[in-house]
Amino acid sequence: MTVNLSRQEALELLKKYNKEPFHIQHGLTVEGVMRYFARENGYGEDEEYWGIVGLLHDIDFELYPEQHCSKAPELLREAGVSEEAIYSVCSHGYGLCSDLEPKHPMEKILFACDELTGLIGAAARMRPSKSVMDMELSSLKKKFKDKRFAAGCSREVIKEGAERLGWTLDELLEKTILAMRSCEESILSYEESVDREMGL
């Protein structure tokens, strides 16, 4: 599994097309989650691939929201990204904005976790700690069932993602909380370094 980009090159590419801090943070979160799942599922040798695909999965969303997953191949090819990685990136939009079906376990996990990281992130911001570190499954399940909460995060996609992986919904929710715990500190450190650079 090859991307043809280093991690630093991938981050610079993401920042070339995304200026909103939220979109950068989402890319970093999904990268961290994918790296965690690579290690946990016996794909440690492919962790870099899993992570970089996670980092770049929404590369076209900020500038081309109406062309999400259809503009991405052009942007990624210009940067020399492998066709394998382009397929993986675009498969996360299957059934919504892409006809490329998630096939590899990595692609199925990306499909399942993309929307879910948004839901968990929104739930974390509502907590006194503003963190996933003390988030319990029961608390997340309440937020999941409340369709008005983080309404933009598709519960149907999350459920379909769990089914594609052969996991129960509870398994997917709990594993993704753990995955987000694994990278929360590094993302906060990155945000603090950006704030320092901007003199905030």
Residues 114/160, Cβ–Cβ less than 8 Å: no
Residues in the chain: 200
Q: What is the DSSP string of 47-77?
A: HHHHHHHHHHTTTTTTT-GGGTTTSHHHHHH
The dihedral through the CA atoms of 4, 13, 176, 181 has a sign that is positive
pLDDT score at 199:
64
The dihedral through the CA atoms of 96, 170, 41, 115 has a sign that is positive
Q: Chain-wide mean pLDDT for the chain?
A: 95
pLDDT band per the 50, 70, 90 thresholds, residue 196 = confident
- Asked if pLDDT for residue 188 goes beyond 90, the answer is no
* Tens-place pLDDT, residues 109-156: 999 999 999 999 999 999 999 999 999 999 999 999 999 999 999 999
- Asked if pLDDT for residue 195 goes beyond 70, the answer is no
Which residues face 125 on adjacent strands? none
CA distance 36 to 141: 22
Report the share of the chain in percent with pLDDT over 90: 90
Residue 186 CA to chain centroid, in angstroms? 15
User: Helices 83-91 and 105-125, interaxial angle, to 10°?
Assistant: 50
Closest CA to 94 of 122, 116, 114: 114
